Structure 1
Amino acid sequence: MLVREVMTESVVVADPQSTVREIARLMRDRGVGSVVLADKGRPVGFITDRDLAVSVVAEGRDGADRVSDHASTPVITADPDMEVDEGAYLMIRQGVRRLVVVEAGFLVGVVTLDDLASRLTDEDLAARLSARITRAAMPDFGTRARAVT
């Protein structure tokens, strides 16, 4: 099975010069948790609601900040003709939950961890993908847990 068969083609895209506040409103209004930042159809950054929470809100940054200052770059991309298993291995290697799908350098879709994990033919790979991505996304708070007061 190919990435193109499981990817989402309707992707929310924004200008990299947009403000954090504009992107947060866009996410709210469109009901999405991520936005691809693109320049003339070419992805240049990727921002998630978690990025906004961790690098903007938690750090007390201004909503007028340029979103590209908080976006993930370079964008981890997949080819639409890549096998789903290959896309899963790419997610594991890069520690990401989403791949931006590009063809000839232009955005054509996004494929998520759930898109891939639910369609993998290798159940062991699906379990490893889920476990490794979840672990990669967890913050490292050290070995001792502390109560938040």
Structure 2
Amino acid sequence: MIERLWYGLRDSLRLWLAPERMRAEGTTPDYRFSLANERTFLAWVRTALALVAGGLAVDQFLTGMRPAPRTAIAVVLLAGGALCAVRAVNHWLRTERAMRRGEDLPLSRFPVLLALGTAVTALAVVAGVVLGELGR
């Protein structure tokens, strides 16, 4: 099982670094589907950038909050942005490969995890702001 996982990861990384290899995967889909997949990729990258910007904003502008929780929230947002960017590439690759092979599109739990993580982080920021205001 570990060997299969390793080879799958290795093959995916090869496609990340040499996308021309994708042409060996099945047949070329209608270009409109590939372009839609690319737009989805760009939306995930924008989401990643927004998470990074949110992490920087929490660190720089919520100065009324204690340093430890402020730093923790900022790090969670920054790590979420990095994870979201990596996930964007992986999802684009898996979707493009599935389209070329005529397979079902890949399913992912990531959107749910991202939404829940964002909600929990937002509630932590609200709590920090409220408690910061009450502590003044």
Higher RCO (CA 8 Å, separation ≥ 6 residues): 2
Q: Give the TM-score normalised by structure 2.
A: 0.30
Q: Which has the larger radius of gyration?
A: 2
Name the one with the larger strand percent.
1
Name the one with the larger helix percent.
2
Q: Give the TM-score normalised by structure 1.
A: 0.28
